[in-house]
Amino acid sequence: MVGGRARARSPRELTDNPEIWPEQPSTDTAAEAVGHIARTLARVLDDRGLSLRATAAGSGVNRQAVADLLAGRSWPDVATVARLAHFTGAHLWPDNTSIDRKRTH
């Protein structure tokens, strides 16, 4: 498996302060990418007034999977991110600038 043992810990556990996930930057590039996806998705859902149930129904992604992604408890796969991006119309995947934000703060 890509990531090996590093994925035994959740993305939020790879930050200095998991209590403020997903706002807390991570030195782990993959965890930082998931944090970006979670921040962006949370903002889009909030802006549009979408519930987890409506997001699950519209995207075809299990409601618990969406909740776990937002909470940083899981490592979303490409299919999950693609389905959520398609449903919301939002660009969820981070660019290099977004991942490198921890180096500028």
Q: What is the pLDDT of residue 104?
A: 45
User: Looking at residue 6, what is its pLDDT?
Assistant: 59
User: Please, what are the averages of pLDDT over each run of 10 residues along the chain (105 residues)?
Assistant: 69 95 93 96 98 98 98 97 97 76 48
Nearest to 88 by CA among 65, 64, 61, 58: 58
- As beta bridge partners, residue 15 has 26
SS (HEC) of 11-42: HHHHECCHHHCCCCCECCHHHHHHHHHHHHHH
pLDDT of residue 8: 87
Domains parsed from the chain with CATH numbers: 14-103 (1.10.260.40)
Please tell me whether the peptide bond between 94 and the residue prior to it is cis, using omega within 30 degrees of 0: no
For the entire predicted model, the pTM comes to 0.85
pLDDT at 21: 96
**pLDDT at residue 5 in the model:** 63
Taking residue 55's Cβ as centre, other Cβ atoms within 10 Å add up to 22
Q: Are 65 and 46 in contact (CB under 8 A)?
A: no
Q: Residue 84: its pLDDT value, please?
A: 98
Question: Contact, 35 vs 21, CB < 8 A?
Answer: yes
